[in-house]
Amino acid sequence: MDPKSIADALTAVRHSRPLVHHITNTVTTNDCANITLCTGAAPVMAAAPEEAGEMAALAGAVVLNIGTLSAAQVESMLIAGRAANERGIPVILDPVGAGATAMRTEACERLLAELDIAVLKGNAGEIGVLAGAGGEVRGVDSAGLAGDPAAVAASCARTYGTVVVMTGPEDYISDGERTLVVGNGNPLMGCLSGTGCMTASVVGAFVAAGDDAVVAAAAACASFSRAGERAAELARGPYSFRTALFDEMANLTEDDLAAHADVRDAGAA
């Protein structure tokens, strides 16, 4: 893919500094706030049903993450999602742990049925479960996927009428017709809780700032994973990597991204 359109997508985030409203889990909420800031956008976390719709209406994107969900939180997600849908504000769903318990799977299916989800972003196991394609999930981690990942991402996108971002050593982005693969990243990203959640935040920032959700989501994945590559050069282990990941996201330049983003059509992968 044209490296300039990837770099331009980062420029668009930094110029528009979109507000990214999150209703998210209690484990990685601070990481999501700070990676949103380091990307060049503005985070806000607001989950109370009394304000979720009002806050969503002010946002450039809404990120719904079911990592530590409750029945009440699902209701807040529906309120926020409806407010966003009424205004054409993109909603990103992170189906953390879908497939691990019936509650998580059913919550995702309800959110996907009742809301217009712009981007469904999960790991390979979560997307495989929701696609009905033999995904396996252990807690919040992917435990495997049956079949060709590009085909699963595309099939899931068609099933739900959304853009799918399926993360792993390579990230697959598909709207059901066009499927891109992002090759950037480093294995240390899989050794840290929160990198999947942060991917959703970064996707939210890029989709808020862009016109084409497939290109924006691919640019988001390339940017975050390129920051991961640079951070890995500075790290002594997972926790110094974590610090470096935020710094490298904030310091990422359009020139570096244009030179190193590895975004291809999956068919040509």
Ligand X SMILES: Nc1ncnc2c1ncn2[C@@H]1O[C@H](COP(=O)(O)OP(=O)(O)O)[C@@H](O)[C@H]1O
Min separation Cβ 201 and ligand X, Å = 11
Q: Which is nearer to ligand TZP, 1 or 111 (CB)?
A: 111
Q: Confirm or reject binding of residue 39 to ligand TZP (CB under 6 A).
A: no
| Rounded to 5°, angle at Cα 179 from 158 and 177 | 45
Min separation Cβ 83 and Mg ion, Å = 29
- Residue 25's binding partner among ligand TZP, ligand X, Mg ion, none (Cβ under 5 to 8 angstroms by kind) is ligand TZP
Q: Confirm or reject binding of residue 225 to ligand X (CB under 6 A).
A: yes
Q: Please pick, from the candidates 174, 195, 201, 223, the single residue that binds ligand X as defined by CB under 6 A.
A: 195
Site for Mg ion in 174-213 (CB under 5 A): 196
DSSP state of 176: S
Find how far residue 196's CA is from the centre of its chain: 7
Q: Confirm or reject binding of residue 167 to ligand TZP (CB under 6 A).
A: no
For residue 217, is it left (φ>0), alpha (ψ between -120 and 50) or beta?
Answer: alpha
Q: Please pick, from the candidates 113, 187, 237, 268, the single residue that binds ligand X as defined by CB under 6 A.
A: 187
| 45 appears as a binding residue in the annotation | yes
- Residue 27's binding partner among ligand TZP, ligand X, Mg ion, none (Cβ under 5 to 8 angstroms by kind) is ligand TZP
**Is the CA virtual torsion 61, 24, 42, 39 positive or negative?**
negative
Longest dimension (CA), the chain: 48
Distance between CA atoms of residues 248 and 198, nearest Å? 14
Structure tokens at 66: 């079911």
DSSP state of 60: S
Structure tokens at 31: 């990481």
Distance between CA atoms of residues 92 and 95, nearest Å? 10
H helical segments located in 161-237: 195-209, 213-232
Q: Confirm or reject binding of residue 196 to ligand X (CB under 6 A).
A: yes
Q: Confirm or reject binding of residue 99 to ligand TZP (CB under 6 A).
A: no
Q: Confirm or reject binding of residue 95 to ligand X (CB under 6 A).
A: no
Length of the chain: 269
Min separation Cβ 250 and ligand TZP, Å = 19
| 196 appears as a binding residue in the annotation | no
Site residues (CB under 6 A) for ligand TZP? 25, 27-28, 67-68, 96, 140, 193-197
Annotated binding site for substrate: 45, 194
